[in-house]
């Protein structure tokens, strides 16, 4: 009996794909450099089917890789050693809405934004809001510990997950967390969130719901230089204001937005700063006054303040659609993810430009300026001979510079396969050994999402050479 037929006995014949086209579609995520085709893709509908799939793979020594919407940006959902992709795209049910206790339970394949839409009538929302939230899944957000523009005030995903059902890499099913914050015992849920599917497959989760703010004020300010915009960021926070979001976009992104959506900004603008304050009306008005004063003091060319919800959503188009708009500039985009202290933003952006120029590459920047989470976007045509190697080299230099300036190689996109070799910049061999032992508590074998996060895993080096060879 074939692998497809065996999997069909678990999930049904209509829930297995193994055509060449399907295998190519599921050979990775939104990180375009490294790809690896699976043998089959299975679409379970519930926890029991996921557990059966995992037990089958273990019994037959078949690698398996969990995947949500495939919007990840570091290769975390790439089936590195082939095998079976376990897609959660049919696991989209909301299982319980508990308004009184401000929590919701859903299957892990549900799109992030659907959670907020489901509870908006109760004056609640799910605070994590990655830019891909209309399609990125709850399980993917949990795997990557996703952030988003409002991370500055509300925090990343781990702060909003109360419990999770986890299918371990041997097929056992466990429940982590107690559905309330601050439960007793070891915080194993905190270990799983951000582990990129290497500790198991999350199939259901209970999330914390946050009240919608009573008032929101959104400002878009155009600046003559990136330095002026970054200095404005520091000035606002130094003045004691922590906005809900503070996003920066440079000239490269502005050009893409003009081309894609016809959005207009001052011709001599080199950077846009999108700032959102929310909370009680009185405090929002005070914060808004500080924001406008700081923008004008730093030489803003234009300051727009949304006067309605429709205008607010229009201003957010610039940030939410920025990376997508870059498709007008080049067919391939690598979006990097590093963290630096806010005070180092001007220096880091100059370094990014210099590194890109030295490699003959084009780069644009949009990022979470309030918490120093940088997203340099290198855009290029991968069909050009040798350019993929230059992109990889430039990206590694950018992330090395982040660490040199006191930051990190990742803020929210994870490590995946992209940054495995760079973890040695931040962790000693002993540190990495502790992490490997922690992972082994959940995943002692090498079948569950192999070749991710930790460097020098057995059997992964030769495959990595094959991935990169295929990319070029």
User: In the predicted model, what is the mean pLDDT of residues 361-365?
Assistant: 96
CB atoms within 10 A of CB 383: 10
Residues 200 and 245 in one domain: no
Residues 311 and 337 in one domain: no
Task: Please say which residue of 324, 343, 367 terminates a domain.
Answer: 324
Q: Per-residue pLDDT for 462 more than 70?
A: no
pLDDT for the residue 179: 84
| Closest-CA residue to 63 (of 83, 77, 40, 36) | 83
pLDDT for the residue 256: 87
Predicted confidence band at 364 (pLDDT cuts at 50, 70, 90)? very high
Residues 124 and 55 in one domain: yes
CATH number at residue 50: 3.30.465.10
Predicted confidence band at 471 (pLDDT cuts at 50, 70, 90)? very low
Between residues 229 and 315, the one the model is more confident about: 229
pLDDT for the residue 458: 72
pLDDT for the residue 259: 82
Residues 131 and 22 in one domain: yes
Task: Please say which residue of 419, 435, 463 terminates a domain.
Answer: 419
CATH number at residue 353: 3.30.70.2740
CATH number at residue 266: 3.30.70.2190
Task: Please say which residue of 260, 293, 324 terminates a domain.
Answer: 324
Residues 73 and 203 in one domain: yes
Instruction: Give the DSSP letter of residue 368.
Output: E
Residues 207 and 241 in one domain: no
Lowest mean pLDDT among 157-166, 247-256, 321-330, 460-469: 460-469
pLDDT for the residue 321: 83
| Closest-CA residue to 40 (of 110, 76, 87) | 87
Residues 41 and 100 in one domain: yes
User: In the predicted model, what is the mean pLDDT of residues 255-271?
Assistant: 87
Q: For the packed helices 387-404 and 461-471, what is the interaxial angle rounded to 10 degrees?
A: 120
Exposed / middle / buried, residue 250 (Cβ in 10 Å: 0-12, 13-18, 19+):
buried
Task: Tell me the DSSP string of 394-433.
Answer: HHHHHHHHHHHTT-BS-SSS--TTTSGGGGGGT--HHHHH
Residues 261 and 182 in one domain: no
Q: For the packed helices 387-404 and 345-358, what is the interaxial angle rounded to 10 degrees?
A: 160
Give the structural domain span for 189.
1-212+427-472
CB 169 within 8 A of CB 443: yes
Structural tokens at position 209: 């719901």
**Tens digit of each residue's pLDDT (9 = 90 or more) over 82-119:** 999 999 999 999 999 999 999 999 999 999 999 999 99
Total domains in the fold of the chain: 3
Residues 366 and 390 in one domain: yes
CB 47 within 8 A of CB 167: yes
| Closest-CA residue to 338 (of 273, 401, 246) | 401
Lowest mean pLDDT among 59-68, 341-350, 357-366: 341-350
CA 160 and chain centroid, separation:
15
**Tens digit of each residue's pLDDT (9 = 90 or more) over 176-209:** 998 888 778 889 999 999 999 999 999 999 999 9
**Tens digit of each residue's pLDDT (9 = 90 or more) over 201-240:** 999 999 999 999 999 999 999 999 999 999 999 999 999 9
On average, the pLDDT of the chain sits at 94
Predicted confidence band at 472 (pLDDT cuts at 50, 70, 90)? very low
Residues 165 and 267 in one domain: no
Q: Per-residue pLDDT for 468 more than 70?
A: no
Task: Tell me the DSSP string of 144-156.
Answer: HT---TTHHHH--
Residues 370 and 246 in one domain: no
């Amino acid at each position: 009996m074939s692998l497809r037929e065996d999997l069909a006995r678990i999930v049904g014949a209509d829930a297995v794909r193994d055509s060449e086209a399907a295998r190519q579609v599921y050979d990775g995520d939104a990180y375009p450099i490294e790809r690896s085709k699976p043998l089959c893709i299975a679409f379970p509908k519930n926890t029991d089917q996921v557990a059966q799939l995992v037990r089958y793979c273990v019994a037959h020594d078949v690698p398996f890789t969990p995947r949500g919407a495939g919007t990840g940006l570091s290769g975390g959902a790439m089936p590195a050693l082939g095998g079976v992709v376990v897609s959660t795209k049919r696991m989209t049910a909301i299982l319980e809405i508990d308004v009184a206790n401000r929590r919701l339970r859903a299957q892990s394949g549900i799109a992030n934004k659907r959670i907020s839409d489901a509870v908006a009538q109760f004056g609640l929302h799910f605070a994590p809001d990655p830019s891909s939230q209309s399609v990125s899944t709850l399980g993917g957000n949990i795997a990557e510990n996703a952030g988003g523009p409002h991370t500055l005030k509300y925090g990343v995903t781990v702060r909003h997950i109360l419990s999770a059902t986890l299918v371990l890499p041997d097929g056992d099913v466990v429940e982590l967390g107690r559905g309330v914050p601050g439960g007793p015992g070891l915080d194993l849920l905190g270990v799983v969130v951000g582990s990129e599917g290497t500790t198991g497959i999350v199939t259901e989760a209970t999330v914390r719901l946050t009240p919608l703010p009573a008032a929101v004020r959104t400002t878009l300010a155009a600046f003559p230089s990136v330095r002026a915009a970054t200095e404005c960021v520091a000035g606002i926070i130094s003045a004691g204001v922590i906005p809900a979001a503070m996003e920066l976009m440079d000239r490269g992104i502005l050009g893409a937005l003009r081309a894609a959506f016809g959005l207009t900004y001052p011709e001599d603008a080199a950077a846009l700063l999108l700032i959102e304050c929310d909370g009680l009306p009185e405090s929002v008005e005070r914060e808004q006054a500080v924001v406008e004063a700081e923008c004008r003091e730093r030489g803003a060319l234009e300051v727009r303040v949304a006067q309605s919800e429709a205008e607010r959503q229009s201003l957010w188009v610039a940030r939410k659609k920025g990376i997508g708009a870059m498709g007008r500039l080049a067919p391939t985009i690598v979006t990097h993810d590093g963290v630096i202290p806010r005070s180092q933003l001007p220096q880091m952006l100059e370094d990014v430009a210099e590194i890109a120029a030295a490699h003959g590459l084009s780069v644009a920047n949009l990022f979470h300026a309030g918490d120093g989470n940088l997203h340099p976007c290198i855009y290029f045509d991968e069909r050009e001979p040798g350019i993929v190697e230059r992109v990889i080299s430039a990206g590694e230099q950018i992330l090395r510079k982040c660490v040199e300036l006191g930051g990190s190689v990742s803020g929210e996109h994870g490590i995946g396969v992209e940054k495995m070799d760079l973890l040695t910049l931040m962790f000693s061999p002993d540190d990495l050994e502790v992490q490997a032992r922690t992972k082994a508590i959940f995943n002692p074998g090498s079948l569950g999402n192999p070749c991710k996060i930790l460097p020098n895993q057995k059997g992964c080096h030769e495959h990595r050479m094959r991935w990169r060879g295929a990319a070029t």
